[in-house]
Amino acid sequence: MTSPIVSGPIVVLTGAGISKESGLDTFRDADGIWSKVRLEDVATPEAFARDPARVHDFYNARRRSLLSSDVAPNPAHFALARLEEHWAHEVLVVTQNIDDLHERAGTSRLIHMHGEMLKARCGTCARVVAWKDDLGLDTPCPSCKQSGAMRPDVVWFGEMPLEMDRIYRAIAGCALFISIGTSGNVTPAAGFVREAREIAHAHTVELNLEPSAGHTMFDDAVLGPATIEVPAYVDRLLGAS
């Protein structure tokens, strides 16, 4: 497909599919994370209150995997950094991912709406700190020194995603909304395309391996692996600008 002639700010929403070819699992694919663990056991505040050790084990394993030498940004992450660098207007990447692959690829205008795996938060003093080690029940907070309340700084079901005002403001002013590698099953991110259409009258496109749950809301779709389709789409956008 060709790219529409678009000029103006771009908002890019990314999900687990963009990091799949970097070696990180998605959630809802056949071999995804939710095929191995129940989200009710590891991704809710209730799960953490009931069995914090289990939740720590889940995120410790994922943090170790993210920091292993096998995991690195792929051509899709680098293409979005290139788009930010060369597009004449603002590009904001809103990621649902808690990995740091967009940063490693060079994207700087970035919102982690579901938090970050390489940060920890103290439930006692609320301080958020950079974190690369395992977390445990007796990990003391480096700030208030209390033990037992450190948790991954991620957004679980029933919790409020981060920086929503900034995200909705950017969507309200965008000319192009691009959704990459997300199944469209989790709100509020799944509703962004509707905001982009109805509030901003933006052109909307999804780049995904298969049509997402909300595919009918998009003007265009490009189906295929992110490492192939995202660089090609960015090339077309930059070539047309």
Tell me the C-alpha distance between 159 and 44, whole Å: 8
Nearer to ligand BJW, 9 or 17 (CB): 17
Nearer to ligand BJW, 9 or 15 (CB): 15
Strand partners, 223: 208
User: How buried is 112 (Cβ within 10 angstroms: 0-12 exposed, 13-18 middle, 19+ buried)?
Assistant: buried
Tell whether the torsion through CA atoms of 221, 225, 228 and 231 is positive or negative: positive
Residue nearest to ligand BJW (CB): 17
Judge whether 114 counts as a catalytic residue: yes
DSSP assigned state of 101: H
∠150-154-157 over CA atoms, to 5°? 115
Q: How far is the CB of 219 from ligand BJW (least distance, A)?
A: 18
Q: How far is the CB of 63 from ligand BJW (least distance, A)?
A: 11
Nearer to ligand BJW, 25 or 175 (CB): 25
Taking residue 59's Cβ as centre, other Cβ atoms within 10 Å add up to 21
Task: Give every CB contact of residue 189 below 8 A, 6+ residues apart in sequence.
Answer: 13, 15, 94, 96, 113, 161, 182
Give the residues lining the site for ligand BJW (CB under 6 A): 15-17, 20-21, 26-29, 32, 43, 96, 98, 114, 154-161, 164, 181-183, 185-188, 208-210, 212, 225-226
Q: How far is the CB of 91 from ligand BJW (least distance, A)?
A: 19
Q: How far is the CB of 230 from ligand BJW (least distance, A)?
A: 8
* The one catalytic residue among 56, 102, 114, 203: 114
Q: How far is CA 68 from CA 6, 62, 190, in A?
A: 39, 10, 30
Nearer to ligand BJW, 140 or 188 (CB): 188
- Catalytic site positions: 114
